[in-house]
């Protein structure tokens, strides 16, 4: 079968690989559609080099169960269910866990062996393309729940890529007033469409100064979804005293906390717990991912899909790959 295989930086190729071995309680899932994530691009660009060569990449996708024909979205975390973290509902941090597409083979393959507990049914109203973009919805739900904003709170979202735009949508559902920051106007226009009250182009104005002018005290909650050390380092100056900051795009960077008294900072990257709710919100049309899909390619043209996702001139948000 065909699969997208990591062979090193700038070297992810569609290759012929053996069919997966289906063991124990696993079932075979036939790939339908998946999306390229910023994480995949970190590996493609050689920014993260710890992935094993020969690994099949991809961790956000849907498919069809070979045993019963059910359309399903796949959760990439393999967890034991019994360790310290699993027992506390934190299976993301399972001590015996694996992350498919990173530390074990992932989803960009014609067939995938999955445990049924990692599969959630996709309702008829949700297209394959929408079900290919569930991971960032689940992440946005997890992050906004963790931030626990009050109605009317200021939520500043740095970076309006696919993840940032979903944070904007969920923050609005939570009753927040959203300030969206990005360097690119086409992304800020979408942020406005999704309900951001203020859009700041950080290439044109001082984002920290502007946020402090708007909020007067600093933002109640802040999400870093741009993925750069520079934006991580801005967060203590954006948040109000005793506010909360989620670092979602990047975790490295020096935090100068002198004015951020009692503010809470945390990182988070994926949450399997929110997948069913994410799919439900897509079915109810309460969260939109269709507007985030900018490009479509077949699995056979995966390399072109990656190059497009990595090329700012193409104005990519979500690049979807189909069977
Ligand atoms: Zn991802
Ligand atoms: Zn565990």
**CA atoms of 2 and 18, how far apart (whole Å):** 9
Considering the entire predicted model, what is its pTM? 0.95
Share of the chain above pLDDT 70, in %: 100
- Is residue 274, in this structure, part of any structural domain at all? no
Taking alpha carbons only, the member of 38, 87, 65, 82 closest to residue 228 is: 38
- Is residue 149, in this structure, part of any structural domain at all? yes
| Nearest ligand atom owner, CA of 57 | 1
Residues 258 and 300 reside in one and the same domain: no
- Is residue 272, in this structure, part of any structural domain at all? no
| Nearest ligand atom owner, CA of 106 | 1
Provide the pLDDT for residue 48.
83
116 Cα to the center of ligand 2, angstroms: 17
| Nearest ligand atom owner, CA of 60 | 1
52 Cα to the center of ligand 2, angstroms: 23
Residues 203 and 117 reside in one and the same domain: no
305 Cα to the center of ligand 2, angstroms: 34
The domain total for the chain is 2
Residues 222 and 301 reside in one and the same domain: no
| Nearest ligand atom owner, CA of 58 | 1
134 Cα to the center of ligand 1, angstroms: 10
Alpha helices in the chain (DSSP H): 38-44, 84-87, 128-131, 135-147, 162-173, 185-193, 207-215, 229-238, 275-283, 302-309
| Nearest ligand atom owner, CA of 249 | 1
> Terminal CA-to-CA distance of the chain, rounded, Å?
12
Residue 217 exposure: Cα atoms within 13 Å on the Cβ side: 11
54 Cα to the center of ligand 2, angstroms: 26
CA distances from 246 to 36, 135, 237 (A): 22, 17, 14
127 Cα to the center of ligand 1, angstroms: 20
- Is residue 278, in this structure, part of any structural domain at all? no
Residues 125 and 219 reside in one and the same domain: no
Residues 235 and 317 reside in one and the same domain: no
Residue 174 sits at the vertex; the CA angle it makes with 171 and 179, to the nearest 5 degrees, is 30
Q: How many CB atoms lie within 10 A of CB 217?
A: 11
- Is residue 144, in this structure, part of any structural domain at all? yes
291 Cα to the center of ligand 1, angstroms: 18
Residues 230 and 295 reside in one and the same domain: no
DSSP character at residue 207: H
- Chain-wide mean pLDDT for the chain? 96
pLDDT tens per residue, range 30-80: 999 999 999 899 899 998 889 999 999 999 999 999 999 999 999 999 999
pLDDT (average), residues 170-196: 98
Residues 67 and 19 reside in one and the same domain: yes
Whether residue 320 contacts residue 34, with contact meaning beta carbons closer than 8 Å, is answered with yes
Question: Distance from CA of residue 19 to its chain's centroid?
Answer: 28
Radius of gyration of the chain measured on its C-alpha atoms: 19
Buried b (16+ CB within 10 A) or exposed e, 153-170: bbbbbbbbbbbbbbbbbb
Residues 100 and 193 reside in one and the same domain: no
| Nearest ligand atom owner, CA of 89 | 2
- Is residue 273, in this structure, part of any structural domain at all? no
**CA atoms of 308 and 110, how far apart (whole Å):** 21
| Nearest ligand atom owner, CA of 84 | 2
- Is residue 279, in this structure, part of any structural domain at all? no
What confidence tier does 249 reach under pLDDT thresholds 50, 70, 90?
confident
Name the residue range of residue 127's domain: 2-133+289-322
| Nearest ligand atom owner, CA of 77 | 2
Residues 20 and 87 reside in one and the same domain: yes
Residues 141 and 129 reside in one and the same domain: no
pLDDT (average), residues 177-198: 98
Whether residue 193 contacts residue 216, with contact meaning beta carbons closer than 8 Å, is answered with no
Share of the chain above pLDDT 90, in %: 92
pLDDT tens per residue, range 121-152: 999 999 999 999 999 999 999 999 999 999 99
Residues 157 and 127 reside in one and the same domain: no
Residues 181 and 98 reside in one and the same domain: no
Here the CATH number for the domain that contains residue 31 is: 3.90.180.10
What confidence tier does 270 reach under pLDDT thresholds 50, 70, 90?
confident
Here the CATH number for the domain that contains residue 160 is: 3.40.50.720
- Is residue 228, in this structure, part of any structural domain at all? yes
């Amino acid at each position: 079968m065909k699969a997208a295989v990591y062979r090193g930086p700038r070297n992810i190729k569609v290759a012929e690989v053996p069919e997966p071995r289906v063991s124990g309680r696993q079932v075979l899932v036939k790939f339908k559609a998946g999306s390229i994530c910023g994480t995949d691009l970190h590996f493609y660009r050689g920014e993260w080099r710890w992935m094993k060569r020969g690994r099949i990449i991809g961790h956000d996708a849907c498919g069809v169960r070979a045993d019963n024909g059910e359309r399903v979205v796949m959760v990439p975390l393999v967890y034991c269910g019994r360790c310290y973290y699993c027992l506390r509902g934190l299976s993301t941090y399972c001590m015996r866990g694996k992350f498919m597409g990173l530390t074990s083979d992932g989803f960009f393959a014609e067939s995938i062996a999955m445990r049924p507990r990692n599969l959630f049914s996709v309702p008829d109203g949700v297209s394959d393309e929408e079900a290919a973009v569930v991971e960032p919805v689940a992440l946005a739900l997890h992050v906004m729940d963790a931030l626990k904003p009050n109605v009317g709170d200021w939520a500043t979202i740095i970076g309006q890529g696919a993840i940032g735009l979903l944070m904007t949508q969920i923050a609005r559902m939570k009753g927040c007033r959203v300030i969206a920051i990005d360097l690119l106007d086409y992304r800020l226009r979408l942020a406005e469409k999704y309900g951001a009250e203020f859009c700041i182009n950080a290439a044109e104005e001082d984002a920290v100064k502007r946020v402090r002018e708007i909020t007067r005290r600093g933002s109640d909650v802040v999400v870093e979804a741009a993925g750069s050390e520079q934006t991580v380092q801005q967060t203590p100056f954006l948040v109000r005293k005793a506010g909360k900051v989620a670092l979602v795009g990047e975790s490295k960077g020096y935090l100068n906390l002198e004015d951020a008294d009692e503010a809470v900072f945390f990182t988070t990257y994926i949450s399997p717990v929110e997948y069913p709710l994410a799919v439900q919100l897509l079915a109810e049309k309460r969260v939109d991912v269709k507007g985030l899909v900018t490009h479509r390619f077949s699995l056979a043209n995966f390399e072109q899909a990656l190059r497009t996702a990595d090329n700012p001139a193409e104005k990519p948000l979500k690049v979807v790959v189909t069977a």
